[in-house]
Amino acid sequence: MILPMKCLHILTPVKDSIDFTLETIKAIMESNITVPFTYTVYNDFSTEENTRKLEEASRTYGFQLVNLADLTTHPSPNYLLVLQTAQEKAIEADAGMLIVESDVVVKKDTLQKLYDGASERKDCAIAAAVTVDESGEINYPYLHAKGNEGKIYAEKKHCSFCCSLLTPEFLKSFDFHLLDPTKNWYDVTISHEAPKKGFQNYLFTTLPVWHRPHGSRPWKQLKYKNPLKYYWLKYTKGLDKI
């Protein structure tokens, strides 16, 4: 028998992009969540000034701030370390692990409804909220979901971690320490593990969240503005790690 999630562990990895991040934090902390939850922001070597702003926000809103500089000397990005650390904590607490990236703004009911939707589907590995632009149109990385608005369905493609809940049963089935640290796009690998372990991933186009693609990693805006330069940086500088 699969027991319900006892609580939610919400997390946001961040490096700089402070204005976007503060909007993400504010929306999460002002959400209507009835299930017990914790919220942790993982600061991946932001500048001293932005780290101070995050510390101030932590005092204002009451979330936990983890400065990865206290955990590792490995330079940013440390996304894999965040996933591994958060997975261990979530399993220990029998919690759902809910990732909200720092370029996403949730609605007041998004997080509770993701929890409810995942809990109602006993085979659920990942429950993902669809992303939209400021006009409400589905955008990257879920462009393939256009035409399926207002639905909840099993997602055959991978689920992005823009705003996604990973259930405790799935977290227990696949150890993130097995992920290849030389690779990236961990959301793709983790998503593809779900059916191998007997789970389904679900996309909730009923729960749109505002996503400014790659607002958390400003250099990636080049993907849309100057694709040739973007791909040159990707393959020559190895920038595309998260």
Tokens, residue 43: 């600061």
Q: How confident is the model at residue 213 (pLDDT cuts 50, 70, 90)?
A: confident
CATH code, domain carrying 55? 3.90.550.10
Average pLDDT over residues 173-191: 93
Which pLDDT tens digit goes with each residue over 7-52? 999 999 999 989 999 999 999 999 999 999 999 999 999 999 999 9
Is 218 a residue whose pLDDT tops 60?
A: no
Q: Does 176 map to a domain?
A: yes
Helix (H, G, I), strand (E, B) or coil at 237: helix
With respect to residue 199, please indicate whether it lies within any of the assigned structural domains: yes
Residue 241 placed within a domain: no
> What does the pLDDT look like over 119-177, one tens digit per residue?
999 999 999 999 999 999 999 999 999 999 999 999 998 999 999 999 999 999 999 99
The answer to whether residue 76 is domain-embedded is yes
- Using DSSP's 3-state secondary structure scheme, residue 105 falls into strand
- Mean pLDDT of all residues in 96-100: 98
Backbone angles phi, psi at 108, to 5 degrees: -60, -30
For residue 193, being part of any structural domain is answered with yes
Domain membership flag for residue 17: yes
In angstroms, the CA 203 to CA 153 distance is 6
Q: Would you place residue 1 in the very low, low, confident or very high pLDDT band (cuts 50, 70, 90)?
A: very low
Question: What pLDDT, on the 0 to 100 scale, is given for residue 224?
Answer: 47
Q: Which one-letter DSSP state was computed for residue 1?
A: -
Domain limits at 48? 7-217
Question: What is the predicted pLDDT for the residue at 241?
Answer: 45
Q: How many CB atoms lie within 10 A of CB 172?
A: 13
